């Protein structure tokens, strides 16, 4: 797991859920860009993907993020919020540039 200190590593400009999602998606991609995971029989995919794409149909750039997380199987019989069962992709530290304003 990439440890995260909420009070010091998330830049202060992140003040919406959307900005937080983009930040975490890009951070996961930055530190796991070559990691692949098995998502089905004979099917692997990159664990984290992030990209900014121009969409001509509405003249906007869109951030598109995809993350494939393993979930602890005890979620079926345990209590707790679903995200508490997400398993780590790696133990790589979050790059310093993600914590700077």
Helical (H) or strand (E) element with 45: strand 43-46
Is 82 a domain residue? yes
3-state class of 37 per DSSP?
Answer: strand
| Domain with 62 in it | 14-93
pLDDT in tens, the chain (101 residues): 578 888 899 999 999 999 999 999 999 999 999 999 999 999 999 999 999 999 999 999 999 999 999 999 999 999 999 999 999 999 999 999 999 98
Question: For residue 63, what are the β-bridge partners?
Answer: 52
Is 76 a domain residue? yes
The pTM (predicted TM-score) of the whole model is 0.89
Helix residue ranges per DSSP H, 1-101: 6-9, 17-32
Is 2 a domain residue? no
Q: Number of folded domains in the chain?
A: 1
Is 71 a domain residue? yes
**Block residue for tokens 């984290």:** 48
- Integer angstrom CA distances of residue 94 from 19, 26, 41, 48, 97: 17, 11, 32, 14, 8
């Amino acid at each position: 797991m990439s440890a995260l200190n909420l009070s010091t590593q998330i830049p202060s400009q992140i003040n919406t859920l959307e900005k937080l999602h983009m930040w975490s998606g890009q951070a996961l991609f930055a530190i796991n860009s070559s990691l692949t995971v098995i998502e089905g029989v004979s099917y692997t995919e990159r664990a984290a993907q992030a990209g900014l794409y121009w969409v001509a149909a509405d003249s906007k750039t869109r951030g598109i993020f995809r993350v494939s997380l393993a979930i602890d199987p005890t979620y079926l019989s345990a209590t707790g919020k679903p995200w508490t069962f997400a398993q780590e992709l790696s133990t790589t530290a979050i790059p310093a540039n993600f914590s700077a304003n």
